[in-house]
Amino acid sequence: MVSSKVEKSSSFLVATDKAQVSQNEIRQALESSDEDAKVQAMQKAITAILAGEQFPSLFITIVRYVLPSENHMVQKLLLLYLETIEKTDAQGKLLPEMILICQNLRNNLQHPNEYIRGVTLRFLCRIHEEELLEPLVPSVIANLEHRHSYVRKNAVLALTAIFKLPKGELLCPDAPELIEKMLQNEQDLSTRRNAFVMLAEHAQDKAVAYLFQQIDRVADWGDILQIAVLDLIRKVCRTSPEQKGKYIKIILALLQSRSSAVMYECAVTLVSLSSAPTAVRAAANCFCQLLVSHSDNNVKLIVLDRLQELKDKHRDVLRELLMDVLRALSAPNLDIRKKALDIALDLIDARNIDEVVGVLKKEAMKTQNRELEKGAEYRQLLVQAIHTCAVRFPDVAGSVLHLLCDFLSDTNTASALDVIYFIREIIQTNPKLHDTIIERLMDTFPAVRASRVASCALWIISEYCTRSAEEISAAVEMIKGCLGPLPLFKEREAGDAEEEAEATSLPIPIQLAAARPAVLADGSYATQTALPGESLPQPAAAAAAANVPNLRALLLGGDYFLGAVIAATLTKLALRLRALRALPPSSLNRATADAMSMIAAMMRLGESGAAAAAGLHPMDADSRDRMAACLRALAGVDGGGVATVWLEECRASFATLIADKQQREAAEAKQEKAKAVAQPDDLIDFHHLKMRKGLSKVEIEDAVASDLARATGLADAAATASNRLNKIVQLTGFSDPIYAEAYVTVHQYDIVLDVSVINRTNETMQNVSLELATMGDLKLVERPQAHMLAPGAQKSIRANIKVSSTETGAIFGNLVYESTGYADRSVVVLNDIHIDIMDYIVPASCPDVQFRSMWAEFEWENKVAVNTAITEPLAFLDHIIASTNMRCLTPPSALEGDCGFLAANLYARSVFGEDALVNVSVEQLPDGKLGGYIRIRSKTQGIALSLGDKLILKQKGSP
């Protein structure tokens, strides 16, 4: 049975871990003459009452011994005590003993000390009993003219609180007039601000009149008063949009304020009210100024978020300020730099690309300073940004090539990988840089110490060293120098004790990264032994310090995959020499023999007992087969047709990959531009024909922008209304005494529940309250207020809930009410509201290398078996993409064909910055059904489980 007692609200909380004291102890301390003892006793009494204790007999003691005290601390604690205790009886009438307090409050309001007056006025702001306040109103009004500003500003707050009460207009009908009169002569900033806010809330016309009366002095007002002015402008423009023009001029004037808070509020208000280019440009300038002048990283991140929103709607205006946005790169925080680069890369065009690349080059040179915090990560961001610029504008590639090549020997593997991938793409798309890239790459290659970087560099050399025999010969000599003298090790001679120490030239084996499962493009698993982003292991660094050539050090560390790449490179170079026919047969035979001897030396290393004795694992079968295939090709065993595969088809496949990537990017850009800005049958607005009399440029631009918004926003409004209907949740049945339904709004970290309740009975319901409880990472911000419902009446109750992660959450609740004729309260249990993960994740894209790196790094995996009525793999993939709000990273060309098997990678990012990775691997079974698995990986458990539950529900689809 629910208790009939309603939970009381409290205006303040006191945390304590001390044991509660008895009422007698508090009474004895209060009756003593020691003021310090009274202070401690009052504090204990207040804490106990807030904790739920009831001390009914303590009130008379406090009236007798505390009320007459002249100690200011005791008087303040007395007011807090009065704020805490219950002042009305069960019927809501004022308790008789409160008359004693009323006289004391009147005396305090006329006290000669301004502090006593001020704290008493603050106390009155939190009192809601009209009978207690009514005799005090004249004293509160009298304090509006007190000599001290502390009393005056609190008197304004008290009068505002009294006027807000349901019967406030009866208690003080002329409050707005009194405040307006006071405002004309007031000099104190806080008092003027409080008075202006009161007028803005309760007499908006008087606040507007005062604003325009003082319009020439607004720019000189204090920051708190200027922010109050901006609040008033937002309220007025929301109710009367046609008046925006004259208020925009005030906002533009306030943009010159010395206060960062006022500048930010001005810019946000300006963007929300107007789409005129002049207004947007002024707001963007303000944001850029804050970005540079403010030192707080949180402020910078917030400002960058606002610039991101501006970029989506006003790209052309923000493009003019691109260099100002890039000044944020001077901040040491990596998140700020990343956001600034993301915004800048969306704004580059042919006119500003040279300036942007120049800034990026300067920043990249700064990262060579070892003292720079997180220099390797920042360098990686810059390399990726330069890569993007060079791909979109190939003409700038030559200016950054030499700088980037210096980073190939970077100890941060991820940064060096980005550089080599950039070089690989540029050499294919920009033939003019062919000679420069090959020359620079061969100069830098001996310093490369990362296996994957060396592998990619060797592939580039093997595919693009085609111009002359001298170039090919130089490449072969460079590889020979990086391998060092052959053989790679010496066989141990039995019985030779003196040469035991140098019987093998194998150094301490390089311990590769711990093997982790990696997902391949076809969805199968392989062992990954080197991860991007990891620095070289210590033994490798030791080998480098010993001046061991780079390829030799990596091979002696057991990297046989690199050995297979070296073998393929030597084979291609030798075959290209043959195809050129520029050397005599003897020279060709010598080059072929050298290549075969190097390949044989690597094979002997992988199969030798000395390598096994040194702790290296034996060569894997795949690498051995590839090296054997290279030897057969060099010996001419496989025939002439194989040379075409080696020399042409590898490069042709890469060219197809690049062309497909460019085609997809062009299609996405075209689709983005194809979004309808206006309908064909819209009216054309000739703003040159508008009446300009008395209007400023900003007002004319704003009127045009508003007309455009009205003309193009109708379709969006209809779509929004349709989406709203889909988010309504029925909470009770039609036969329940109260019918309730909720509209759920999810906005990043906030969930807003708008619950509509209807009284279905013929009786009045009192104290109708919505009681909510949450499960998961959801927290109720505040308890909704209780309401009274007449028969058939409807009320809207709003509840705010905070979200901290994408973990599955649910909201439970009851509607509790009191009805006439029932002693106890009635309860209606509400239907559960489940929060959909789809509201938190958005489609995103990332490079394939980054996807594989995250897949290997993330710990949480949820494996979902495919169980669907859909019979086509591609149709099933499309259904999964539509159901999960994710983006398919696998290119469409890789999904073409009808082989009965499909593997694809999907990616999304949550609003909390969490990454969600999905791999779909399905095959068509002999009975026509689909089988396979969907694997979900994430850094946190919540998103993996929530997304898995969503897939289980949605994957069945329709046949």
User: Is 886 exposed, middle or buried (CB count within 10 Å of its CB: 0-12, 13-18, 19+)?
Assistant: buried
On whether both 786 and 756 belong to a single domain, the answer is yes
> Which stretch of 1-15, 79-93, 703-717 has the lowest confidence by average pLDDT?
703-717
On whether both 594 and 473 belong to a single domain, the answer is yes
Q: Is 495 left (phi over 0), alpha (psi -120 to 50) or beta?
A: left
For residue 495, give the 3-state DSSP assignment. Answer: coil
Which pLDDT score, from 0 to 100, does residue 935 have? 92
Q: What is the mean pLDDT of residues 899-922?
A: 86
Does the pLDDT at position 896 exceed 60? yes
More confident site: 474 or 684: 474
Residue 616 covered by a domain: yes
The answer to whether residues 552 and 483 touch, using CB atoms and an 8 Å cutoff, is yes
Best-predicted range by mean pLDDT (86-90, 445-449, 580-584, 720-724)? 445-449
Of the pLDDT bands very low, low, confident and very high (cuts 50, 70, 90), residue 158 is: very high
Q: What is the mean pLDDT of residues 34-60?
A: 83
Does the pLDDT at position 870 exceed 50? yes
Does the pLDDT at position 155 exceed 90? yes
Residue 801, amino acid: I
Give me the helices (H) in 186-333, please.
189-202, 204-213, 223-239, 244-254, 260-273, 277-293, 297-313, 315-319, 322-326
Which pLDDT score, from 0 to 100, does residue 822 have? 58
Q: What is the mean pLDDT of residues 932-939?
A: 90
Q: E strand or H helix at 26, and its extent?
A: helix 23-31
Residues 6+ apart with CB under 8 A from 312: none
On whether both 805 and 897 belong to a single domain, the answer is no
**Dist. CA 421–CA 419, nearest whole Å:** 5
On whether both 610 and 481 belong to a single domain, the answer is yes
Of the pLDDT bands very low, low, confident and very high (cuts 50, 70, 90), residue 194 is: very high
Residue 578 covered by a domain: yes
Q: E strand or H helix at 744, and its extent?
A: strand 738-747
Does the pLDDT at position 274 exceed 90? no
Q: What is the mean pLDDT of residues 38-62?
A: 82
Does the pLDDT at position 509 exceed 90? no
Which of 493-523 are b and which e, b meaning 16 or more Cβ less than 10 Å from the residue's Cβ?
Answer: eeeeeeeeeebbebbeebebeeeeebbeeeb
Which pLDDT score, from 0 to 100, does residue 502 have? 41
Q: What is the mean pLDDT of residues 577-606?
A: 85
On whether both 756 and 785 belong to a single domain, the answer is yes
Q: What is the mean pLDDT of residues 553-558?
A: 85
Residue 889 covered by a domain: yes
Does the pLDDT at position 508 exceed 50? no
User: Is 686 exposed, middle or buried (CB count within 10 Å of its CB: 0-12, 13-18, 19+)?
Assistant: exposed
Which pLDDT score, from 0 to 100, does residue 799 have? 86
On whether both 483 and 594 belong to a single domain, the answer is yes
Angle at 945 between CA 853 and CA 918, to 5 degrees: 35
Does the pLDDT at position 746 exceed 80? no
**Dist. CA 822–CA 817, nearest whole Å:** 10
Q: What is the mean pLDDT of residues 701-711?
A: 53
The residue among 644, 671, 699 that closes a domain is 644
Task: Please write the tens of the pLDDT for every residue from 601-652.
Answer: 888 888 877 666 666 777 888 988 999 988 888 887 666 667 778 888 888 8
On whether both 820 and 786 belong to a single domain, the answer is yes
Does the pLDDT at position 947 exceed 70? yes
Does the pLDDT at position 390 exceed 80? yes
Q: What is the mean pLDDT of residues 514-538?
A: 45
Which pLDDT score, from 0 to 100, does residue 748 have? 65
**Dist. CA 843–CA 887, nearest whole Å:** 5
Does the pLDDT at position 531 exceed 90? no
Of the pLDDT bands very low, low, confident and very high (cuts 50, 70, 90), residue 726 is: low
For residue 445, give the 3-state DSSP assignment. Answer: helix
Q: What is the mean pLDDT of residues 393-409?
A: 82
Q: What is the mean pLDDT of residues 155-165?
A: 91
Residue 346 covered by a domain: no
Residue 36 covered by a domain: no
Which pLDDT score, from 0 to 100, does residue 154 have? 93
Q: SS3 sequence, 271-313?
A: HHHCCCHHHHHHHHHHHHHHHHHCCCHHHHHHHHHHHHHHHHH
The residue among 835, 864, 893 that closes a domain is 835
Q: E strand or H helix at 121, and its extent?
A: helix 114-124
CA neighbor of 210 nearest in space, from 223, 222, 197, 220:
197
Residues 6+ apart with CB under 8 A from 768: 738, 757, 786, 787, 788, 789, 795, 815, 816, 817
CATH code of the domain covering residue 923: 3.30.310.10
Residue 264 covered by a domain: no
Domain of 603 in residue numbering reads as 467-487+548-644
Residue 799 covered by a domain: yes
Which pLDDT score, from 0 to 100, does residue 689 have? 58
Q: What is the mean pLDDT of residues 159-179?
A: 88
Which pLDDT score, from 0 to 100, does residue 740 have? 92
Which pLDDT score, from 0 to 100, does residue 698 have? 56
For residue 788, give the 3-state DSSP assignment. Answer: strand
Does the pLDDT at position 5 exceed 50? no
Of the pLDDT bands very low, low, confident and very high (cuts 50, 70, 90), residue 85 is: confident
Does the pLDDT at position 503 exceed 50? no
Which pLDDT score, from 0 to 100, does residue 808 have? 64
Q: Report the domain count for the chain.
A: 3
Which pLDDT score, from 0 to 100, does residue 805 have? 66
Which pLDDT score, from 0 to 100, does residue 515 have? 42
On whether both 804 and 851 belong to a single domain, the answer is no
CB atoms within 10 A of CB 683: 9
On whether both 827 and 741 belong to a single domain, the answer is yes
φ and ψ at residue 524, rounded to 5 degrees: -85, 165
Residues of the chain with pLDDT > 70, as a percent, come to: 83
Does the pLDDT at position 1 exceed 80? no
Q: E strand or H helix at 360, and its extent?
A: helix 353-366
Task: Please write the tens of the pLDDT for every residue from 299-351.
Answer: 898 899 889 888 888 888 888 888 888 888 888 888 889 899 989 988 888 88
Which pLDDT score, from 0 to 100, does residue 505 have? 44
The residue among 629, 644, 659 that closes a domain is 644
pLDDT, mean over the chain: 80
The answer to whether residues 805 and 837 touch, using CB atoms and an 8 Å cutoff, is no
Which pLDDT score, from 0 to 100, does residue 579 have? 82
Longest Cα separation, the chain: 121
Task: Please write the tens of the pLDDT for every residue from 282-301.
Answer: 889 999 999 888 888 888 98
Task: Please write the tens of the pLDDT for every residue from 363-377.
Answer: 888 887 766 777 778
Residue 935 covered by a domain: yes
Which pLDDT score, from 0 to 100, does residue 387 have? 83
Which pLDDT score, from 0 to 100, does residue 704 have? 54
Q: What is the DSSP letter of 94?
A: B
> Which stretch of 428-437, 439-448, 498-507 has the lowest confidence by average pLDDT?
498-507
On whether both 807 and 886 belong to a single domain, the answer is no
CA neighbor of 836 nearest in space, from 918, 745, 914, 938:
745
On whether both 616 and 475 belong to a single domain, the answer is yes
Give me the helices (H) in 645-744, please.
650-673, 697-712, 714-726
On whether both 917 and 949 belong to a single domain, the answer is yes
Q: What is the pTM of this model?
A: 0.72
CATH code of the domain covering residue 733: 2.60.40.1480
CB atoms within 10 A of CB 677: 10
Does the pLDDT at position 677 exceed 60? no
Of the pLDDT bands very low, low, confident and very high (cuts 50, 70, 90), residue 724 is: low
Does the pLDDT at position 777 exceed 90? no
Q: What is the length of the chain?
A: 959
More confident site: 511 or 951: 951
Residues 6+ apart with CB under 8 A from 663: none
The answer to whether residues 293 and 309 touch, using CB atoms and an 8 Å cutoff, is no
